[in-house]
Amino acid sequence: MERPFPAPCGFMLAAMLILAGHASVFAQSSAPAAKAGAWSVPDIDKLPDDAWGKLVRHGRDLTVETASLIGPAAADPARHFSGNNLTCQSCHLEAGTKAYGLPFVGVFTDFPQYRAREGEVGTLEDRINGCMTRSMNGKALPVDSTEMKAFVAYIKFLSEGRPIGGKTPGRGSGEIAELARPANPAAGAQIFAETCAACHGAAGQGRRAAEAGKIYEFPPLWGQDSYNDGAGMARLIAAASFIRSNMPNGTTHDQPLLSAEQAWDVAAFINSRRRPHKEDLDKDYPVRTEKRVGAGYGPSADGVSEGQHGVGPFQPIRDKLKTMKQEAGKDAASQ
């Protein structure tokens, strides 16, 4: 499979109102609007070598060389924010520019936005720190740090020309048809051995890189150097759709190699393996009826087992939540 899988590989970003102190740096661009339905990425090499250009390029470098710059491999221990040796592009493929590879393109226009996982409106900085503490299994970046400003600048640059609050075709990882049965980790283990192990290792340990500035050529998919169980990729729906659109390496959303069924099963196998645990997951989704059906950890409002939340099928859970909300609405109307 491909070099950027964590997400999980994994797993994981309504107009951004920049904090007053950042206003001059992140002023709205006058770039022409991108054509609807067209996938286009601004050319970072055309940026001037001024303060803005340097900050945007630093954001790209942080995306590609995360572990070496702000992770365990950083020379300065004070810069050890990421807790594993993944990079941001382990999930956000090709430095966040690949269509349906969880790109950054258009993300800037979505913030601030309501986040059900936190139960409140969050900023882009909040979302980035969600990745830092979950997918990167580390700690939050200071909001006023150069690194945070660089990430935001890079995401803004890649979102130039995208309408505020509008849809960007190619965002996310695409839709995948759901199964009427639970995903099967045992079947997924065989698919992994045949299709994924050549790059990610038979034990999911990844493949180390010889290239300077990189820790892994292909990232680990489980174990202590992978994303934790609170990451977006730790949710089966997120992992399966990402795999179908992007794996093995070279796959595209329009020409997938794996069937939907294979993607579900191999994702279930990967997420069944041991990985770091994130504390306080019980505080996620404070409004329990807003909890994602594929979040395989409790507590949940629907009474469905954690096992079914983990591997499906998911439509019965949605149906039950819909009925619960309808009944709650009737009760409220009668009072």
Q: Which string of DSSP letters, residue by residue, matches 3-72?
A: S---BSB----------GGGTTTTPPP-PPPPPTT------GGGS-SSHHHHHHHHHHHHHHSHHHHHST
CA–CA distance, 22 with 206 (Å, rounded to integer): 38
Question: pLDDT truncated to tens, each residue of the chain (335 aa)?
Answer: 433 433 333 333 333 333 333 333 333 344 455 555 679 999 999 999 999 999 999 999 999 999 999 999 999 999 999 999 999 999 999 999 999 999 999 999 999 999 999 999 999 999 999 999 999 999 999 999 999 999 999 999 999 999 998 899 999 999 999 999 999 999 999 999 999 999 999 999 999 988 765 799 999 999 999 999 999 999 999 999 999 999 999 999 999 999 999 999 999 999 999 999 999 999 999 999 999 999 999 999 999 999 999 999 999 999 999 999 999 888 888 87
Between CA 69 and CA 79, with CA 73 as vertex, the angle to 5 degrees is 50
Q: Please indicate, yes or no, whether the overall pTM of this predicted structure exceeds 0.95.
A: no
Write the single-letter amino acid at 152: V
Residue pair 89/122 in contact by the 8 Å Cβ criterion: no
What is the distance, to the nearest Å, from the Cα of residue 188 to the centroid of all Cα atoms in its chain? 22
Which among 23, 27, 16, 22 is positioned nearest to 108, based on CA atoms?
16
Contacts of residue 239, defined as CB under 8 A and 6 or more positions apart, other chains included, come to 7, 8, 9, 10, 11, 233, 267, 270, 271
CA separation, residue 222 to residues 82, 121, 230, 308 (Å): 16, 31, 13, 21
Compute the CA torsion angle 53, 55, 58, 59 (nearest 10 deg).
Answer: -110
Complete domains list, the chain, with CATH: 1-31+39-276 (1.10.760.10)
